[in-house]
Amino acid sequence: MTASSLTIWTIIVLLGIGTFLLRFSFLGLIGDRKLPPWALRHLRYTPVAFIPAIAAPLVIWPDATGGEPEPTRILAALATVAVGYVTKNVLLAITAGLVTLYGTGFLLG
Amino acid sequence: MDGIPYLVVIAPFAVLFGVVATEAGLSLAETMGFSVLVVAGAAQFTAVQLLVDQAPVWAILAASLGVNLRMAMYSAALTPHLGQAKLWERISVAYLTVDQAFASAMLTYEKEPEMSPADKVSYYLGFMIPIAPIWYGGSWLGAVAGTAIPPEYALDFALPITFLALVAPALRSAAHIAAAFVAIVVALLAAGLPSGAGILLAGALGMATGAEVERRMETKR
């Protein structure tokens, strides 16, 4: 990482303030007014849209291999999603991903 | 004290954040700064990943706050229950708004409508009393231990695995799956854009897709 300490702290503080304002928005400032249904409908999908958008390029073009796709990592990612989807359990999904990563990494050398 | 079962999930997640942040080059103080001031796992992981990618500050903030937009929805949903509480109570609840506390509190409030506003505040803060210190402590432990883990353990991959593990259980409906699918396709197609920009575009289009699919499914019904 080449970011300076000042940059990192700027991000920490602004992200902290921004996140607090999102959490405090209705409770503290807007009061008991309802959000319009279209806004709620969009807000519902923020995690399932933003998080895969961040993860997908990391799975297909990992920095650690110089950006080359690698079967081990793709298999591990698929195992994580499959176990997470079926069991609805975050920790089991992480375990499945790591076991696949290390297991197939070992088998494929 | 309903928060205690969640410690099993929160503690390893906190340790993982400490490890990943340290591996990415963050100091102990910076890692703790994230966990104490932001208190939002997925957004913290996002910010660290984009720092590694050397994305510009505005893009890091936009993507991380994008991940946290759901907190505004939580805030709106909690307001009918906690909107009348004292200011310092509402500030404490806001600071401690995390997925697990929100979900558990809403279920309890709906199940027990006779709870007074004071009971509801006590329930919420009581839920977080064991969780918040574990979040801070776990991050610290991970940051200290992370420096001792050799790089051949492919820990760089802990982060995408964590993200996928968080999202997979949330794929509850066709609309959720459509949102994630569009986000993935756009993120891969937009990989040539400056880092951060592709994620914002993919996230926004995924979000709009989810909302649109939901709207159509409702009209059909």
pLDDT in tens, B97-116: 988 788 788 878 878 889 99
| Residues of chain A contacting B74 with CB distance shorter than 8 Å | 23
Q: What is the C-alpha to C-alpha distance for residues B46 and B63, in angstroms, rounded to an integer?
A: 7
pLDDT in tens, A46-93: 878 888 988 898 899 887 677 788 889 999 999 999 999 999 887 899
Q: What is the C-alpha to C-alpha distance for residues B79 and A59, in angstroms, rounded to an integer?
A: 39
Binding-face residues of B in 47-86 toward A, CB within 8 A: 47, 49, 51-52, 54, 57, 60-61, 63-76, 78-80, 82-83
Q: What is the C-alpha to C-alpha distance for residues B181 and B83, in angstroms, rounded to an integer?
A: 36
Testing the interface with A: which of B23, B161, B215 to mutate, by most A Cβ within 10 A?
Answer: B161
Chain mean pLDDT for chain B: 87
Q: What is the C-alpha to C-alpha distance for residues B143 and B130, in angstroms, rounded to an integer?
A: 20
Please tell me the predicted confidence (pLDDT) of residue B126. 93
Q: Report helix, strand or coil for A82.
A: helix
Please tell me the predicted confidence (pLDDT) of residue B183. 95
Testing the interface with B: which of A2, A27, A32 to mutate, by most B Cβ within 10 A?
Answer: A27
Nearest to A52 among B91, B154, B183 (CB): B183
Does A22 have pLDDT greater than 90?
yes
Distances in Å between the Cα of B184 and the Cα atoms of A60, B49, B75, B103, B189 are 11, 17, 28, 27, 9
| Residues of chain A contacting B203 with CB distance shorter than 8 Å | 46, 49-50, 53
Does B152 have pLDDT greater than 80?
no
Q: What is the C-alpha to C-alpha distance for residues B136 and B128, in angstroms, rounded to an integer?
A: 12
**Which one is predicted more confidently, B209 or B9?**
B209
Does B1 have pLDDT greater than 70?
no
Please tell me the predicted confidence (pLDDT) of residue B173. 93
Please tell me the predicted confidence (pLDDT) of residue B58. 92
Please tell me the predicted confidence (pLDDT) of residue B36. 96
Does B156 have pLDDT greater than 80?
no
Dihedral (CA of A95, A72, A109, B23) sign: negative
| Residues of chain A contacting B103 with CB distance shorter than 8 Å | none
Q: Taking the CB of residue A40, how many other CB atoms lie within 10 A of it?
A: 15
